Amino acid sequence: MIKVKPSKILTLLLIHQKNQILLAMKKRGFGMGKYNGFGGKVERNGESIYQAAIRETQEEGCITPTDAQLIGYIKMDFDCEKETLKVHIFKATQFEGEVQETEEMKPQWFDVNNIPYKTMWIDDQYWVPYLLDNKYFYGYLLFEGHDKLIKVDIKETTQQ
């Protein structure tokens, strides 16, 4: 019998300005110790995925992206987790406010030629290049534990 896992709808937002990308060191929770974009769970109160992406960026980085667009979608399964993650990835180039450290994240700008992939989720190297290139992408990942990928299927797409 095929077992379908329950799923969690998540957002992830990265700011890319010219040759710089804004990442943040996660200080607690899932992905602690890794650089990532801003994001988290969509709230159950009727919040849209887009609204959640903006809210999470406000909460974690103290900024409001003003031109965020959905650029990718990745479904992630882990042999060790009960839930499938459905991660909606947004890109923005403009924002209001001043980037600040919060209880959850320590933000830092990186040159796009010096992205700290070794201190990021292992999947990021497969899709961040699409994001930097303004290419829409979607795909599926299967993890063994949290740091090993046993299936990677990420493709560029022309449709959002």
The number of angstroms, rounded, from the C-alpha of 69 to the middle of its chain's C-alpha atoms is 13
Nearer to ligand 6OG, 64 or 158 (CB): 64
Minimal distance in Å, beta carbon 132 to ligand 6OG?
14
* Residue with the shortest CB distance to ligand 6OG: 39
Q: Give me the torsion for CA of 13, 35, 22, 41, rounded to 10°.
A: 20
Minimal distance in Å, beta carbon 31 to ligand 6OG?
5
Minimal distance in Å, beta carbon 154 to ligand 6OG?
11
d(CA 41, CA 56): 8
Place of tokens 């990942």: 141
Nearer to ligand 6OG, 125 or 158 (CB): 125
Write out the DSSP string of 32-85.
TTSEE-B--BPPSSS--HHHHHHHHHHHHHS-EESS-EEEEEEEEEETT-SSEE
d(CA 113, CA 136): 20
Nearer to ligand 6OG, 31 or 102 (CB): 31
Q: Which residues bind ligand 6OG (CB under 6 A)?
A: 10-12, 29-31, 36, 39-41, 76, 85, 87, 121, 123-124
Minimal distance in Å, beta carbon 1 to ligand 6OG?
27
Nearer to ligand 6OG, 93 or 152 (CB): 152
